[in-house]
Structure 1
Amino acid sequence: MKMFKWLSIFTLSFVLTACGADSAADDNDKEENDRGTKVQNVDDENNDSRMRVADKAQDKIENMQEVRHANVIVTDNNAYVAVVLEDNTKGDVREDLEKKISDQVKSTDKGIRNVFVSSNPDFVDRMGDYGDKIQKGEPVKGLFEEFTEMVQRVFPSGQ
């Protein structure tokens, strides 16, 4: 139930931030963060709303023997992890493995409070696409709404 509360707060903040985004914003909303990863701001007035690829976390997860591939996107204090598992399990990730993945993510960024993990094939594909767009510095207009909808589908109960 606590995770549902956090997911609800996160989703609401996405919707409210996206609604206030400056439609005239362009490539000025791109910057490099202190970890060297590409960061996209939702709007120029509120730099608290960002979306970034967490390369360090991704590398740590991919070094786990259970994981073949991972994509990690961080927004505020939430991390979303899409994994392709070695045993080809799709959908929900075992609780013990989810905890190990969460620990790896949190070890790379002390500001992350919530980690959401899935091996759902659609989630994996979309996370890869979003990560590519962020890394290439492409504009993120509309990306947050799409991302929020996907997160709500994959994690409906906030788990």
Structure 2
Amino acid sequence: MFVTKGSHKVLILTVVTMSIFLSGCTAKPNTQNQQNTPIKQQQIQQQVQQPGNEDNRIQIAKEAATKITELDSVKQANVLVTKRKAYVAALLKNDQQLTRDIEDQIANKVRATDPNIQNVYVSTSPELADRFNTYVLDVQQGRPVAGFVEQFKEIVARVFPSAK
């Protein structure tokens, strides 16, 4: 499910509901991390973490995706965040090519929703968009995503080699 214009209310309601559901299923709350995360982001992010490894946390930044789709050139977007890096899979309107200007606009939208983000990596690959879409949908539907962390690392290394 990509974020599209007009689906904001349903998307926010779904994310908030899933966040409430998932917060009751965690083994150990991470209150220190929640204190450092902006309140808006806490309400609309979901995270998946392999037990015992804080470095494998991947957050779904719905607010950032929603802001990105407000851009005239962007049709759909998903944003995954690890530590201080954001990975954006966006589809552009009318078969546009990703330009430096569009990439900067997307990065600015992401940083506006979370000032802790230092690096934003953007791809308009339909394959990456499909992969991110599947991951987001699986998390929202409560499906196990344990193997996704390793897959995500491989995807990042292949699609964003400068992100290491």
TM-score greater than 0.5 by the shorter chain: yes
Report sequence identity in percent: 37
- Corresponding pairs, count: 130
Taking a change above 3 Å as real, the CA distance of residues 31 and 68 of structure 1, as seen in their structure-2 partners, is: farther
In structure 1, C-alpha distance between the alignment counterparts of 2:29 and 2:134, rounded to whole Å: 19
| Secondary structure at the counterpart of residue 117 of structure 2 | coil
| Secondary structure at the counterpart of residue 116 of structure 2 | coil
Taking a change above 3 Å as real, the CA distance of residues 151 and 46 of structure 1, as seen in their structure-2 partners, is: closer
Name the counterpart of 1:19. Answer: none
Q: Is the 8 A contact 1:53 1:73 kept in 2?
A: yes
Give the CA deviation at 1:130. Answer: 1.2
In structure 2, C-alpha distance between the alignment counterparts of 1:157 and 1:133, rounded to whole Å: 28
| Secondary structure at the counterpart of residue 87 of structure 1 | helix
- Consecutive unaligned residues in structure 1, runs of 5 or more: 1-26
Give the structure-2-normalised TM-score.
0.70
Give the CA deviation at 1:60. Answer: 0.4
| Secondary structure at the counterpart of residue 110 of structure 1 | coil
Q: Structure 1 or 2: larger helix share?
A: 2
Residue 150 (1) aligns with residue 158 (2):
no
Q: Is the 8 A contact 1:31 1:40 kept in 2?
A: no
Name the counterpart of 2:44. Answer: 36
Aligned residue runs from structure 1 range 62-73, under 5 A: 62-73=69-80
Give the CA deviation at 1:137. Answer: 3.2
Aligned mate of 2:108, from 103, 111, 136:
103
In structure 2, C-alpha distance between the alignment counterparts of 1:31 and 1:136, rounded to whole Å: 21
Residue 126 (1) aligns with residue 145 (2):
no
| Secondary structure at the counterpart of residue 63 of structure 2 | helix
